[in-house]
Amino acid sequence: MIVEGLLIAAALAFAVSIGAHYTGACMGMPYAAGAIRSGSALLLMAPLALLGATFASGGVETTVGHAILATPALSLGVALGIVVAAFSLTSLYNVLRIPTSTIQILVFSAVGGGLGDGIPVEWGTIGRFVVLWAIAPFAAFAIAFVLVRLADRTLAPEPATGPKKRSPATVAVVGLVVVGSAASFAMGGNDVANASGAFLMTGLFGLAMAGLVGGIGLALGILTWGRPLLERVAFEIVRLTPRTAVAAQLGQVLVILAYVAFGYFTSMNQALVGAMIGTGMARREPTVLWKPVRAILAGWAAGPASGIALGFVLTWVLRSVHAT
């Protein structure tokens, strides 16, 4: 009972960290364009993420729960080590205000946990993940590129807006709230399994309860800890007009929802950055501020390596303590 309680607490804490981590990826664009205030953005995002986690995460939950490690039921101790490793690393990135991929951290923490406990890893699944993760930012890039080119050819020219302008009353700005809302729902379906997949790995909860519990954690994280990453993505990474912001966010959303529909997941941040670069290439304009992006790229590279290392160490330590 004690280990079960610790696992539930750790998974909830991880979900809180995930919810905070993706506020910028979902609502950074509408906030930067002045379409919505920060408090309203978080209040809108939280219930949508909860709905996505509860009703759209089943396929991803199944993939995380049963397709990473080759075991019918993971021990509670190993699952606890995996979740604690992933939660610790995600929280570290949150403190550093560096958007990264919690999905990649979780998957490689699970790989490390499996290696630490002698559980066979489903390397074929890991290989598919890596290929799909590599495709996602390029797919988002292409969608955003095409959307901007089509919009610029069919709609009137728009004036450039700086990242701190708050009052452009355009259809594009209203559209930003819509696509930001869609991104919030998609994030719930795409990312909740990072935390709640451990419930399926161990058989502790079924699909519906796992999604609900994880979704509650996402919503709490958005409301209590979401502002720093919202500010980071909104004002320190990109300079977009309302129209290009809509294209970038929509490119991200379409890619994420397509993955979730097939039971896979990918990085919200990587898809968004790919889409943002696509909008810049479409207009031959520098939309991405590369100095902070270089820090983000370093975080993406370090995430899987640190996940596998910490997952291995924590699982090995927990197994050693249990053996004694």
**Ordered per-residue pLDDT tens for the chain, 324 residues:** 788 999 999 999 999 999 998 998 899 888 887 889 999 999 999 999 999 999 999 999 999 999 999 998 899 989 999 999 999 998 887 777 666 788 999 999 999 999 999 999 999 999 999 999 989 999 999 999 999 999 999 987 775 544 444 445 467 778 999 999 999 999 999 999 999 999 999 999 999 999 999 999 999 999 998 988 787 766 565 567 888 889 999 999 999 999 999 999 999 988 988 898 898 889 887 655 666 566 666 766 778 888 999 999 998 887 777 665
> What distance lies between CA 307 and its chain's CA centroid?
16
Query: For the whole model, what pTM was predicted?
Result: 0.89
- Distance CA(108)–CA(308), nearest Å, equals 5
**Whose CA is closest to 46, among 215, 214, 176, 196?**
215
What would the two tokens of residue 94 be? 């949150």
- Distance CA(80)–CA(10), nearest Å, equals 7
What would the two tokens of residue 230 be? 């919202």
